Amino acid sequence: MFKTAGNQEYILTPKQQILTFLRFLGSGCQYHGIGDVHGVTKSTVCRIIDRVGEAIHGNLFSTIIKWPEDTLASNQTGASNGTLVPLDAPVKNEAAYVDRHGNHSIIALMICGPDMKFYYVSAC
């Protein structure tokens, strides 16, 4: 059972819980901001994040999310790095590209393995 912002009790579907969890991960908002968007209380958001995070960690990390086998033998795992990439102010959604320093940029994150191959690249 979960409580809505109006203090009514109801059951959230697994899809609603996963969407709430993903919004938390993707937005960086606080619990009350996520709760406002999804119409649930701050404590409900906290429980959802705990439950879905535990389910992902307990069920997926050991079987799906893992480094390639050969990296474990060499005791090398690779490297990750993130950086701000400066850019000219875009015409559309200009404010969305202003970083914490007041400059226009995008965030780039890269994860590289010991074989010098990129396992993950994100630029947003």
Residue 32 within any structural domain of the chain: yes
Phi, psi of 97 (to 5 degrees): -105, 15
User: Could you tell me if 44 and 35 are in contact, meaning their C-beta atoms sit under 8 angstroms apart?
Assistant: yes
In a domain, 28, yes or no: yes
The string of pLDDT tens digits covering residues 57-86 is: 887 777 776 666 665 565 566 777 788 888
- Report yes or no: 113 and 68 within 8 Å, Cβ to Cβ: yes
Q: Tell me, yes or no, whether 23 and 50 share the same domain.
A: yes
Taking only the tens place, the pLDDT of each residue in 2-37 is 655 566 666 788 898 999 999 888 887 888 888 888
> Which DSSP category does 90 fall into?
P
- Residue 85: the pLDDT is 86
17 and 37: one domain?
yes
Q: Where in the sequence is the domain holding 86, given as residue range(s)? A: 69-123
Q: Does residue 64 fall inside a structural domain?
A: no
Domain count, the chain: 2
> What are φ and ψ of residue 6, in 5° steps?
-85, 10
Identify whether the C-beta of residue 77 lies closer than 8 Å to the C-beta of residue 67: yes
Q: Token pair for residue 92? A: 């559309």
Residue 66: the pLDDT is 66
What CATH number does residue 33 fall under?
A: 1.10.10
Q: Please state, as a whole number, how many other Cβ atoms lie within 10 Å of the Cβ of residue 37.
A: 14
Let me know: does 32 contact 42? Beta carbons within 8 Å.
yes
Q: 10 Å Cβ neighbour count for 119?
A: 13
Whole-model pTM: value is: 0.48
